[in-house]
Structure 1
Amino acid sequence: MSKDRQGGVKAAGRTLDLFEIFARHPEPLSLSELAKLMGTPVSSTHALVKTLRARGFVYVLEDRKLLYPTRRMQVLTNQIAKNESAVELLAPILQRLQEDSDETIILGKRQDEMIVYLDVLECQRPIRYAPQPGERKPLHSSAIGKAMLSLGTDDDIRQAVSIVGQPGVTANTLTELDVLLADIQEGRERGIFITRGENVADVMGIAMVFRLGGGPVGIAIGGPMPRMIEKEQLCRDLLAAARRDIDAMCPPSNDLRRVA
Structure 2
Amino acid sequence: MEQQSHKVKSADRVLDIFELFTGGTESYNLTEISKNLNMPPSSTYLLLQNMLKRGYLEVDKSGKQFRIGYKLFMIQNRYSQGTSLSEEFYQVAEKIAFDLNETVSLAIRSGSQLHYIGEKISTQGLRYTPNQGETPPLHATASGKIFLAHMTKEELLELYPTEQLEKITDKTIGTLTELLEELEKVKSRGIGYNMGETVTGVHCVAAAVFDAEQKVVASISISIPVVRITDELWSRIHDWIERASSELSRKVYG
Q: TM over 0.5, yes or no?
A: yes
Shift of 1:248: 4.7
Q: Which residue of 2 aligns with 1:98?
A: 97
Task: Return the alpha-carbon distance in structure 2 between the equivalents of residues 228 and 154 of structure 1.
Answer: 34
Q: Contact (CA 8 Å) 1:3, 1:9: kept in 2 or not?
A: no
**Which structure is larger by alpha-carbon Rg, 1 or 2?**
1
Task: Return the alpha-carbon distance in structure 1 between the equivalents of residues 216 and 190 of structure 2.
Answer: 18
Task: Return the alpha-carbon distance in structure 1 between the equivalents of residues 248 and 85 of structure 2.
Answer: 12
Task: Return the alpha-carbon distance in structure 1 between the equivalents of residues 141 and 104 of structure 2.
Answer: 13
Task: Return the alpha-carbon distance in structure 2 between the equivalents of residues 108 and 247 of structure 1.
Answer: 14
Shift of 1:166: 1.4
Shift of 1:146: 0.4
Task: Return the alpha-carbon distance in structure 2 between the equivalents of residues 140 and 208 of structure 1.
Answer: 15
Q: Which residue of 2 aligns with 1:129?
A: 128
* Residues 124-174 of structure 1: CA deviation (Å, up to 9, x unaligned): 000000111111110110111100001112332232222896111111100
Shift of 1:217: 0.3
Q: Equivalent residue of 2:114, what SS?
A: strand
Task: Return the alpha-carbon distance in structure 2 between the equivalents of residues 234 and 3 of structure 1.
Answer: 51
Q: Contact (CA 8 Å) 2:149, 2:184: kept in 1 or not?
A: yes
Q: Which residue of 1 aligns with 2:192?
A: 193
Q: Which residue of 2 aligns with 1:39?
A: none
How many residues get paired?
181
Q: Which residue of 1 aligns with 2:4?
A: none
Q: Which residue of 2 aligns with 1:238?
A: 240
Identity of aligned residues (%): 23
From the superposition, tell whether residues 155 and 203 of structure 1 become closer, same or farther in structure 2 (CA, over 3 Å): same
Q: Which amino acid aligns with 1:124?
A: T
Q: Equivalent residue of 2:97, what SS?
A: helix
From the superposition, tell whether residues 99 and 177 of structure 1 become closer, same or farther in structure 2 (CA, over 3 Å): same
1:44-193 aligned at under 5 Å gives the runs 85-162=84-161, 166-193=165-192
Gaps of at least 5 residues in structure 2 are 1-41, 55-74
* Residues 228-258 of structure 1: CA deviation (Å, up to 9, x unaligned): 46422211111122234335535xxxxx25x
Q: Which amino acid aligns with 2:223?
A: G
Gaps of at least 5 residues in structure 1 are 14-79, 251-255
Task: Return the alpha-carbon distance in structure 2 between the equivalents of residues 183 and 232 of structure 1.
Answer: 20
Q: Which residue of 2 aligns with 1:223?
A: 224
Flag as ranges the 4+ runs of structure 1 deviating above 6 A: 1-4
Question: TM-score under structure 1 normalisation?
Answer: 0.61
Task: Return the alpha-carbon distance in structure 1 between the equivalents of residues 229 and 153 of structure 2.
Answer: 29
Q: Equivalent residue of 2:209, what SS?
A: strand
Q: Contact (CA 8 Å) 2:114, 2:137: kept in 1 or not?
A: yes
Q: Which residue of 2 aligns with 1:53?
A: none
From the superposition, tell whether residues 138 and 2 of structure 1 become closer, same or farther in structure 2 (CA, over 3 Å): farther
Question: TM-score under structure 2 normalisation?
Answer: 0.62
Q: Which amino acid aligns with 2:192?
A: F
